[in-house]
């Protein structure tokens, strides 16, 4: 059952990430087109700015799922270092609960706002503005699945607990590096004054 849910989440997060990439490409392309038409052709486009802004909104909310799943959101790493390892899972549960509450709020009020403005149209387009507001509940839904999958994978031991970008262990001391360098170089060379003196006497 766990593996089935994780496979399902992998597909949904992958779909959200691909859609976010497409939306980013659309937003950047139309933004460039808007600049060309405004400052080069001196005939500003009436629709590209609206679509570019809406595509960027979709990109942000869809890309959040991959950020939650990979643990790439901002975190206070010192808390993970201070807490015992056996209690870190409870910290992850607390963080997941806070994120789930926020996402549920986004889903509820985002859906309500989407339905409320469905009669309004995007400026310059005969398209309902609710398509732009739909990014909130849809993106939050993808992120909710990702958070549950991450917590489940950590609780079952399939993934390590903690932020993905946590720093590694302390670096090797410099003194140890110097010691190893000296060992590889071999013992220091010494001079033999008696041999040098003997050679000088022979040459004379």
Per-residue pLDDT of the chain (204 residues; tens, 9 = 90+): 888 999 999 999 999 999 999 999 999 999 999 889 888 887 888 888 889 999 999 999 999 999 998 878 776 677 777 777 778 888 889 989 999 999 999 999 999 999 999 888 887 778 889 999 999 999 999 999 999 999 999 888 877 777 665 544 444 444 444 444 444 545 544 444 444 444 444 444
Tell me the per-residue pLDDT of 111-133, one tens digit each, with 9 for 90 and over.
999 999 988 888 777 888 999 99
Residue 119 placed within a domain: yes
Q: How far apart are CA 125 and CA 96, in angstroms?
A: 39
Angle between helices 48-70 and 2-35 (to 10 degrees): 150
Strand partners, 128: 121
pTM value is 0.73
Residue with tokens 């089935």: 4
Question: Exposed (0-12), middle (13-18) or buried (19+): which is 118, by Cβ within 10 Å?
Answer: middle
Residue 10 placed within a domain: yes
Residue 137 placed within a domain: yes
Question: Residue 187 half-sphere exposure, CB side, CA atoms within 13 Å?
Answer: 3
Q: Which domain holds residue 95?
A: 2-73+82-164
Residue 196 placed within a domain: no
Residue 197 placed within a domain: no
Q: Which of 33, 43, 31, 163 is nearest to 92 (CA)?
A: 163
Give the chain's domain count.
Answer: 1
pLDDT of res. 198: 44
Annotate 94-111 with b (16+ C-beta within 10 A) or e (fewer). Answer: ebbeebbeebeebbeebb
pLDDT of res. 179: 43
Residue 177 placed within a domain: no
Q: How far apart are CA 144 and CA 17, in angstroms?
A: 14
Residue 189 placed within a domain: no
First to last CA, the chain: 95
pLDDT of res. 123: 77
Residue 180 placed within a domain: no
pLDDT of res. 126: 81
Question: Exposed (0-12), middle (13-18) or buried (19+): which is 75, by Cβ within 10 Å?
Answer: middle
């Amino acid at each position: 059952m766990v593996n089935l849910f994780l496979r399902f989440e992998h597909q949904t997060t992958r779909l959200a990430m691909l859609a976010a990439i497409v939306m980013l490409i659309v937003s950047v392309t139309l933004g460039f087109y808007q600049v060309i038409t405004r400052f080069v052709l001196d005939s500003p486009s009436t629709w590209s700015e609206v679509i570019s802004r809406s595509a960027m909104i979709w990109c942000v909310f869809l890309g959040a799922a991959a950020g939650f799943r990979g643990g790439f959101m901002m975190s206070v790493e010192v808390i993970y270092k201070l807490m015992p390892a056996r209690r870190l899972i409870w910290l992850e549960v607390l963080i997941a609960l806070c994120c789930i509450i926020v996402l549920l709020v986004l889903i509820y009020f985002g859906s309500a706002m989407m339905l409320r403005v469905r009669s309004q149209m995007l400026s310059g387009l005969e398209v309902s503005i609710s398509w732009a507001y739909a990014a909130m509940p849809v993106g939050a839904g993808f992120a909710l699945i990702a958070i549950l999958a991450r917590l489940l994978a950590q609780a079952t031991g399939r993934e390590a607990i903690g932020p993905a970008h946590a720093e590694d262990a302390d670096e090797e001391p410099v003194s140890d590096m110097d010691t190893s360098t000296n060992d590889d170089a071999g013992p220091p060379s010494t001079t033999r004054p008696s041999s040098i003196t003997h050679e000088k006497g022979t040459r004379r």
